[in-house]
């Protein structure tokens, strides 16, 4: 494994109370592999990613757990000062991140090439001219045409697709071991989305890096990942290989997400929806946190006691559903067949 996350808790200390944005997750990223972290907006995916890089802004902070980067010697990131030199060496050089919105992640008052070259100069200790040469080369490798000219432009002069490619170039210019991609295709049209995903696959194979893909888009998951972790209200509720998750979901939330994927050609068919809304972050419910929205919930079982633990219900397949942990026989939570559903349908937001 390249990175392991163990019982990670990240809390926000607000005037209104304490919000458990990440409430005890465990996750492992293999070398060279892709793990997808999936869930609705507000479930804690992005906070988990920021926690790995120690970039959670006050009033949030990690309160428990470990994030360990494995190498010649293991490095426990949660034990490092978040603004210390050791953590700064990790960011960009060992672990890089593509943020959700490149227009806000890139500085609007600095040229694109200078921003990428700055990362090179910081981590690889080279002069300004060499740093810019490497920056332009990575921009070209990321599919930016006329990279030398584009490097002299400001972010607002680039299209959304080119800004996303510039973010990818900045993240990968120092050849990190792990790339965290937070909704890398948000707000892009389907054609550009496909190009960005293809680019990520090519660069991952070329650099031999691991990829943590954060998304709400199950079409992207099917295309990119080998393993999937599904989050709900700060916790992982299902963990499985992509094949097992799509063929045999073992949590009602996952099954409901799969049913919400629009079927190819079914333009007049209403999308399946999950009733209700995600509870506000920090909400404490008895029993399973999904039970108020779950069509399979059993009163007196799902709505009482502690949150169900994430337990193995099949080889390599874990679920935090009491019904699946107790069930014998066929899976009663299976969604309708996914036959005929296209991977390119993922540009449609999940309807909740």
pLDDT mean across residues, the chain: 86
Contacts of 24 (CB under 8 A, 6+ apart): 7, 8, 9, 64, 65, 234, 235
For residue 59, say if its preceding peptide bond is cis, omega within 30 degrees of 0.
Answer: yes
Question: In this predicted structure, what is the pLDDT of residue 9?
Answer: 96
Tokens (6 digits) for 272: 């399946």
pLDDT at 280: 74
pLDDT (tens digit, 9 = 90+) per residue, 231-258?
A: 999 999 999 999 999 999 999 999 999 9
Residue 282 — very low, low, confident or very high, per pLDDT cuts 50/70/90? low
Residue 344 or 110, more confident: 110
pLDDT of 5 > 70? The answer is yes
Compute CA 316 distance to the chain's CA centroid, rounded to the nearest angstrom: 20
3 state SS for 95-127: EEEECCCHHHHCCCCCCHHHHHHHHHHHHHCCC
CA distances from 18 to 40, 215, 234, 280, 284 (A): 21, 25, 13, 12, 11
pLDDT for 148 equals 95
pLDDT score recorded for residue 329:
45
The pairs formed by 16-19 with CB atoms below 8 angstroms and a separation of 24 or more are 17/282, 18/282, 19/281, 19/282
Query: Which has more confidence, 266 or 7?
Result: 7
Q: What is the pLDDT of residue 147?
A: 94
Instruction: Tell whether the torsion through CA atoms of 149, 105, 122 and 180 is positive or negative.
Output: negative
The Cβ of residue 137 has, within 10 Å, a number of other Cβ atoms equal to 14
Domains of the chain by range and CATH? 1-94+176-352 (3.40.50.300)
Using an 8 Å Cβ cutoff, are 96 and 180 in contact? Answer: yes
pLDDT tens digits for range 195-230 = 888 989 998 998 899 999 999 888 889 999 999 999
- pLDDT(115) > 90: yes
Q: Taking Cα atoms as reference points, which of 297, 319, 298, 299 lies closest to residue 309?
A: 319
- 340, 264 contact by CB (below 8 A): yes
pLDDT of residue 53: 94
Over the stretch 10-22, which tens digit does the pLDDT of each residue have?
999 998 888 999 9
What tens digit of pLDDT does each residue of 21-76 get?
Answer: 999 999 999 999 999 999 888 888 999 999 999 999 999 999 999 999 998 789 99
Q: What is the pLDDT of residues 137-188, one digit of tens each?
A: 999 988 899 999 999 999 999 998 899 889 989 999 988 999 999 988 877 7
Query: Does 338 have pLDDT greater than 50?
Result: no
Apex 46 CA angle, 311 and 217, nearest 5: 75
Q: pLDDT higher for 77 or 193?
A: 77
What is the reported pTM? 0.86
């Amino acid at each position: 494994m390249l990175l392991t996350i163990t019982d990670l808790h990240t809390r926000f200390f607000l005037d209104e109370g304490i919000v458990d944005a990440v409430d005890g997750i465990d996750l492992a990223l293999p070398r060279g592999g892709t793990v997808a972290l999936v869930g609705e907006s507000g479930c804690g995916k992005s906070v988990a990613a920021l926690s790995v890089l120690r970039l959670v802004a006050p009033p949030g902070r990690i309160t428990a757990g470990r994030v360990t980067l494995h190498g010649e010697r293991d490095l426990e990131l949660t034990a490092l000062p978040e603004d210390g030199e050791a953590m700064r060496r990790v960011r960009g050089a060992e672990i890089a991140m593509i943020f959700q919105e490149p227009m806000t992640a890139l500085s609007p008052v600095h040229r694109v090439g200078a921003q990428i070259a700055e990362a090179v100069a910081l981590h690889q200790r080279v002069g300004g001219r060499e740093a810019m040469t490497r920056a332009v080369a990575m921009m070209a490798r990321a599919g930016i045409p006329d990279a030398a000219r584009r490097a002299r432009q400001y972010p607002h002069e680039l299209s959304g697709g080119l800004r996303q490619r510039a973010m990818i170039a900045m993240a990968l210019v120092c050849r990190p071991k792990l790339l965290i991609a937070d909704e890398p295709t948000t707000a892009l049209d389907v054609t550009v989305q496909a190009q960005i995903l293809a680019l990520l696959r090519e660069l991952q194979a070329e650099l031999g890096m691991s990829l943590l893909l954060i998304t709400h888009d199950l079409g992207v998951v099917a295309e990119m990942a080998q393993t999937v972790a599904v989050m709900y209200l700060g916790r992982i509720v299902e963990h499985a290989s992509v094949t097992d998750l799509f063929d045999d979901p073992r949590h009602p939330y996952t099954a409901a997400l799969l049913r919400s994927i629009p079927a190819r050609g079914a333009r007049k068919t209403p999308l399946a929806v999950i009733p209700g809304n995600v509870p506000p972050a920090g909400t404490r419910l008895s029993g399973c946190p999904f039970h108020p929205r779950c069509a399979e919930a059993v009163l007196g079982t799902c709505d009482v006691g502690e949150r169900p633990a994430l337990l193995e219900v099949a080889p390599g397949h874990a679920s935090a559903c009491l019904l699946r942990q107790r069930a014998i026989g066929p899976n009663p939570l299976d969604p309708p067949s996914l036959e005929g559903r296209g991977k390119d349908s993922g540009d449609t937001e999940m309807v909740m």
